[in-house]
Amino acid sequence: MSEHIEFEEEEFNTRFSGQTIRRLASLLRPYALWVIGFLSMVMMVSGLDSYFTYLSKRMVDEGISAGNWGMLLQIVEQYAALILIQAVAVFGFIWLAGILGERIRYDLRQTLFNHLQELSLTYYNRTPVGWIISRVTSDTDRVAELVTWGLLDVTWSSFNIITALFFMWQISWQLTLIVMVIVPIIIVVATFFQKRIIVQYREVRKVNSKITGAYNETITGVRVIKALDREEANLREFGKLTGEMYQAGYRAAWYSALFLPTVQLISAVAIVSIVTYAGVTVNNNGLSVGGMYAFISYVLFMVWPVQEMARVFAEMQQAVASGERIFSLIDAVPDIVDKPGAYDVDHLRGDIVFEHVDFQYEEGKPILCDFNLHVRHGETIALVGPTGGGKSTIVNLLCRFFEPTGGRIMLSGHDYTDLTQHAIQSRIGMVLQTPHLFSGTIRENIRYGRLEASDQEVEEAAKLAGAHAFIEKLEKGYEEQVGEGGVLLSTGQKQLLSLARAVLAKPDIFIMDEATASVDTLTEALIQQGMDTLMKECTSFVIAHRLSTIRNATRILVIEDGRIKEMGTHRELLKLGGHYHRLYTQQFRQEVVTQVDELATLLADIDMSAVEDASAPPADGRTNGKVTVDLAFAD
């Protein structure tokens, strides 16, 4: 819990770190030509915007005021041609900057994703998944926006102001000097507002996530709320949240609403100065009508580039923070890397030896101390003991998801840190407590165990694992979609599929973390069958919860507080009358409960089918189920 606090979202106290900015810039290096391309196009567009106003001035002064129709036409022709050129440039910069943005998004995401595949479980244990997802999605978006559109907007804005000042200077340098006073004022005001607006929107997002949380909790807990008759109190509490939201939203809108009029008011002062100047100098060849018109247009327009710049600079702080977080992810070093000269082996069908293994996730909090274990090939080891006692740690060490901090682990006579990770992990079959499936078809999920397996082999594995029967009954059989994370299947079915996946992988070492959630008796019998198939071929480690598994293991390890408290066969351990004895009785009683429910359901079903069709024998599945139950009882 405390570890997660440092990952709280939205910390913006970051100062601009030069290094991060340099690194952000380096993202663009491979695309230097693209950048030059879109920047030059946007400068052209921006410069033309300013020039158009100047042309309008010339139309007024040299064409219309002078009554020179030919001159007017000439200027209009030039203007029209430039409009076409500008349109081409607009197309160019949208296309170039946009594509570049998409490319950078693509590159960053792929880099991050690939890097994530290399990182060790230690990283995943201390980093919430949600945090990583934000890095890969929203942070890459922000960075890509900054280095393309952000850069583009700033270039457009600054170039627009510079060119506008240049043309104004051509018309009247005295007046330009006066107007130039307001530019910094507008910049300061704009920055002031943008900062506040961003702070307010952050507040809105914060309250919004609270509101979403409240909705979520109310919907998932609605039955309790009704049972406790809590609706009115809840509504009062929620009313406070919506009040906060109203305030935050209104404040944000208030600042936004005030921003534009304020800036316009400042430019109005500039316009008044222009008019005054024009009025005062009208008698001694001062500002022409076209000149005044151009000045007013420039000042009115100047609001936009300034606003854009203020916006980009305000957002830049966030984007740089995003960049920093992305780089911190990229810079995270995997804890486990193959040694130079690490090698592969033909198989790992040999003994597994833990020699004086120490392990700790955190300095000073040892999980395993001087752990010793020698497992002969083909043995089935059941790991039992309380949660947090160290069962999973042993399995994780065996898979080399973590490496021992002291001692060593030998696989078939090799110190496993001398082998490549691939050598070890490609020979392990694993079934997790909460089986994880990937969206896609059933066939794709089983094939995950061995990518080059033929359709026939996939089905063979499913049969061995006892999954074939239920797959056949599905409408599309092996081509049925499992849904995201396998939501369309039951827990039992997911477990059968992950067993089939492990069977297909033909592992040398099989690891299973048994589910604590109860599945129906029939499925459980099938799971048992699948496990037996695998255990025959492999050396197996099972984090066991079911009595039958525990009883059938060649050895049982009772793990508590990071140590082997007791080790032996079922009978030996019972005789000891210690930890195992206690755990076993407890587990037994738990199983009795599920069996009573199960039995009641079964008996009811049998009664029902007897009523419905007295002559017909009970349906297949039911008979199987009953046999299993009876077997379990007789066991």
Partner 1 sequence: MLNSTAQPITQPELDLKETIGAGKLRGFWKLMTGFRGKYLVSTVSMGVAAIMNTVTFLLLAAFVDHFMVGGDRTIPLAVYVAGFLGLAIVQAGATFNSRRLAAKTAEGIARRIREYIYDHIQRLSFTYHDKTQTGELIQRATSDIDTIRRFFADQAIEAGRIVMLFVVNFIAIYLLDWRLAWFSVIIVPIVMVISLFFFRRVEKAYEAYQTQEAKLSSTLQENLSGVRVVKAFARQEYEENKFDVENKEKYRRGRHLLLMHALFWPITDIMCAGQMLGGFLFAGWLTITGEITLGTYVAYAGLVVWIIWPLRNLGRLIVQMSESLVSFGRISEVVKEEREPVLEGSVRTDQPVKGEIIFEDVHFAYAGTDRSALHGVSFRVQPGQSVALIGGTGSGKSSLVNLLPRFYEYTSGRILLDGVELKEYPRHYLRRQIGIVEQEPFLFSRTVRDNITYGVTRAVPDDEVEAAARAAAIHEVILNKLPQGYDTLVGERGITLSGGQKQRVAIARTLLKDPRILILDDSTSAVDFETEAEIRQALRTLMQGRTTFIIAHRIQSVMDADLILVLEHGRIVQRGAHQELVEQDGIYRRIYLAQTRLEAELEEELSRV
Of residues 372-401, those binding partner 1 (CB under 8 A): 399, 401
In angstroms, rounded to a whole number, what is the distance separating the alpha carbons of residues 477 and 71?
Answer: 80
Of 15, 22, 223, 347, the one binding partner 1 (CB under 8 A) is 223
Binding region for partner 1 (CB under 8 A) out of 18-26, 173-181, 430-438, 456-464: 430-438
Binding of residue 78 to partner 1 (CB under 8 A)? no
Tell whether residue 603 is a contact of partner 1 (CB under 8 A): yes
Strands 406-411 and 414-415, by their bridges, are antiparallel
Q: Which stretch binds partner 1 (CB under 8 A): 23-31, 83-91, 150-158, 527-535?
A: 83-91
Residues 6+ apart with CB under 8 A from 184: none
Q: Please measure the distance between the N-terminal and C-terminal CA atoms of the chain and give it in whole angstroms.
A: 44
Which is closer to partner 1, CB of 137 or CB of 372?
A: 137
Task: Tell me if 84 contacts partner 1 by CB under 8 A.
Answer: yes
Query: Which residue, 245 or 373, has its beta carbon nearer to partner 1?
Result: 245
Q: How far is 549 from 512, CA to CA, in rounded Å?
A: 11
**Helix 173-220 with 151-171: angle, nearest 10 deg:** 160
Contact by Cβ (8 Å): 382, 376: no
Contact status, residue 516 vs residue 433, Cβ threshold 8 Å: yes
Tell me how far, at minimum, the Cβ of 563 lies from partner 1, in Å: 20
The owner of tokens 């009772």 is 558
Q: Does 215 help bind partner 1 (rule: CB under 8 A)?
A: yes
In order, the DSSP letters of 93-116 are: HHHHHHHHHHHHHHHHHHHHHHHH
Q: Between residue 479 and residue 518, which ones bind partner 1 under the rule CB under 8 A?
A: 484-485, 498, 501, 505, 511, 516
Q: Does 99 bind partner 1 (CB under 8 A)?
A: yes
The owner of tokens 């944000």 is 252
Part in contact with partner 1 (CB under 8 A); list of ranges 374-382, 408-416, 558-566, 586-594: 586-594
Residue number, 22 or 223, with CB nearest to partner 1: 223
Window of 31-39, 90-98, 321-329, 364-372 that interacts with partner 1 by CB under 8 A: 90-98
By CB under 8 A, the residues from 254 to 273 that bind partner 1 are 254, 256-258, 260-262, 264-265, 268-269, 271-272
- Nearest-approach distance from CB 18 to partner 1, in angstroms: 31
Least distance from partner 1 to the Cβ atom of residue 266, Å: 10
Q: Record the tokens describing residue 50, joined without a space.
A: 């300013």
CB nearer partner 1, residue 103 or residue 202: 103
Q: Does 88 bind partner 1 (CB under 8 A)?
A: yes
Please state, in angstroms and as integers, the Cα–Cα distance from residue 21 to each residue in 18, 114, 132, 467, following that order.
5, 23, 22, 54
How far CA 280 is from CA of 167, 272, 277, 634, in Å, comes to 22, 12, 5, 113
Q: Please say which residue, 449 or 492, places its beta carbon nearer to partner 1.
A: 449
Could you say whether residue 85 binds partner 1 (CB under 8 A)? no
Is 208 near partner 1 (CB under 8 A)?
A: yes
| Shortest distance in whole angstroms from residue 370 CB to partner 1 | 26
Binding to partner 1 (CB under 8 A) within 541-560 occurs at: none
7, 34, 79, 327: residue in contact with partner 1 (rule CB under 8 A) = 79
Of the candidates 267, 264, 277, 265, which has an alpha carbon nearest to the alpha carbon of residue 175?
A: 277
Question: Does 232 help bind partner 1 (rule: CB under 8 A)?
Answer: yes
For the bound state, the minimum distance from the C-beta of residue 547 to partner 1, rounded and expressed in Å, comes to 10
Nearer to partner 1, 498 or 539 (CB): 498
Largest Cα–Cα distance in the chain? 120
- For residue 376, give every residue at least 6 positions away whose Cβ sits within 8 Å of its Cβ, in sequence order, or none: 351, 539
Residue 118 touches partner 1, criterion: CB under 8 A: yes
Q: CA nearest 408: which of 358, 372, 361, 355?
A: 355
Distance CA(288)–CA(285), nearest Å, equals 8
Contact segment (CB under 8 A) with partner 1 among 116-124, 184-192, 319-327, 359-367 equals 116-124
Site size toward partner 1 (CB under 8 A) is 154
Name which of 544, 527, 493, 512 is nearest 432 in CA terms. 512
| CB neighbour list of residue 20: distance below 8 Å, 6 or more residues apart | 320, 323, 324, 327
- Measure Cα distances from 407 to 372, 410, 428, 498 in Å: 9, 10, 22, 32
Residue count of the chain, please give it: 635
**Position 56 contacts partner 1 (CB under 8 A):** yes
With CB under 8 A as the contact rule, the residue among 132, 321, 367, 534 that binds partner 1 is 132
Binding flag, residue 610, partner 1 (CB under 8 A): no
* Binding positions for partner 1, 460-479, rule CB under 8 A: none
- Do residues 152 and 97 make contact, with C-beta atoms less than 8 angstroms apart? yes
Residue 614 in the binding site for partner 1 (CB under 8 A): no
User: What's the min distance (Å) between Cβ of 245 and partner 1?
Assistant: 7
Distance (Å, rounded) from C-alpha 194 to C-alpha 531? 62
Q: How far is the CB of 159 from partner 1 (least distance, A)?
A: 18
CA triple 322-324-328, angle to 5 deg: 120
Task: Determine, following the binding rule CB under 8 A, whether residue 30 of this chain makes contact with partner 1.
Answer: no
- Return the residue of 191, 317, 417, 426 that touches partner 1, per CB under 8 A: 426
Question: Could you say which of 69, 472, 476, 610 contacts partner 1 (CB under 8 A)?
Answer: 69
Q: Least Å distance between CB 324 and partner 1?
A: 20
600 is written with which tokens? 């009641």
Residue with Cβ nearer partner 1 (35 or 278): 278
Strands of the sheet containing 406-411, edge to edge, are 365-375, 352-362, 406-411, 414-415
337 lies in the binding site for partner 1 (CB under 8 A): no
Residues 144-203 that bind partner 1 (CB under 8 A): none
DSSP 302-361: HHHHHHHHHHHHHHHHHHHHHHHHHHHHHHPPPS--PPTT-B--S---S-EEEEEEEEEE
CB of 476 vs partner 1, minimal distance in Å: 21
Is residue 586 part of the contact set for partner 1 (CB under 8 A)? yes
Please state the closest distance from residue 633 (CB atom) to partner 1, in A: 6
Q: Does 81 bind partner 1 (CB under 8 A)?
A: no
**Residue 99 to residues 22, 94, 103, 384, Cα–Cα distance (Å):** 22, 8, 6, 56
User: Which of 20/291 has CB closer to partner 1?
Assistant: 291
Among residues 10, 217, 472, 613, the one that binds partner 1 under rule CB under 8 A? 217
